[in-house]
């Protein structure tokens, strides 16, 4: 073990990482900042169980679902439902279309494919 000093504190590090021999060539970023930000926004949007349930409802019903039918599935206030749908819409996971007094929501498959594709890439064993 080698000793490094960071902000006046002594920490232990592996000796192999203190040299460039074992770590060369080092890892490189494989994702653009914009892609990482987009994915982080998508994951943040689906970090709520309510929003996951909303996506489930929308994905199981081909076409559109009226906001009133979504509201009926939850014991939440209308403003809270609107907030959750707004988060999903802002992240690009769903879209809505106004028809008279009611908004109809539907999943954007391209956004879900982006998440699915990234997850498939990190779950693949790249060691050979």
Instruction: Give the chain's domains with CATH numbers.
Output: 33-123 (1.10.10.10)
pLDDT at residue 18 tops 60? no
| pLDDT bracket for residue 3 (50, 70, 90) | very low
**Taking residues 62-83, what's their average pLDDT?**
93
Q: Which of 34, 46, 118 is nearest to 87 (CA)?
A: 46
Which residue intervals of the chain are DSSP H helices? 33-45, 49-60, 67-71, 78-90, 109-123
Q: Which of 69, 33, 51, 40 is nearest to 107 (CA)?
A: 51
Share of the chain above pLDDT 70, in %: 77
């Amino acid at each position: 073990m080698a000793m490094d000093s960071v902000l006046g504190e002594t920490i232990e590090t592996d000796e192999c990482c203190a040299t460039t021999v074992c770590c060369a060539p080092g890892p490189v970023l494989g994702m653009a900042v914009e892609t990482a930000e987009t994915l982080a926004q998508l994951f943040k949007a689906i970090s709520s169980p309510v929003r996951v349930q909303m996506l489930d409802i929308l994905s199981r019903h081909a076409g559109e679902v009226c906001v009133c039918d979504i509201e009926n599935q939850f014991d939440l206030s209308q403003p809270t439902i609107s907030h959750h749908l707004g988060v999903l819409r802002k992240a690009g996971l769903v879209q809505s279309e106004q028809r008279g007094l009611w908004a109809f929501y539907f999943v954007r498959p391209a956004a879900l494919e982006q998440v699915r594709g990234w997850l498939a890439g990190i779950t693949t064993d790249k060691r050979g």
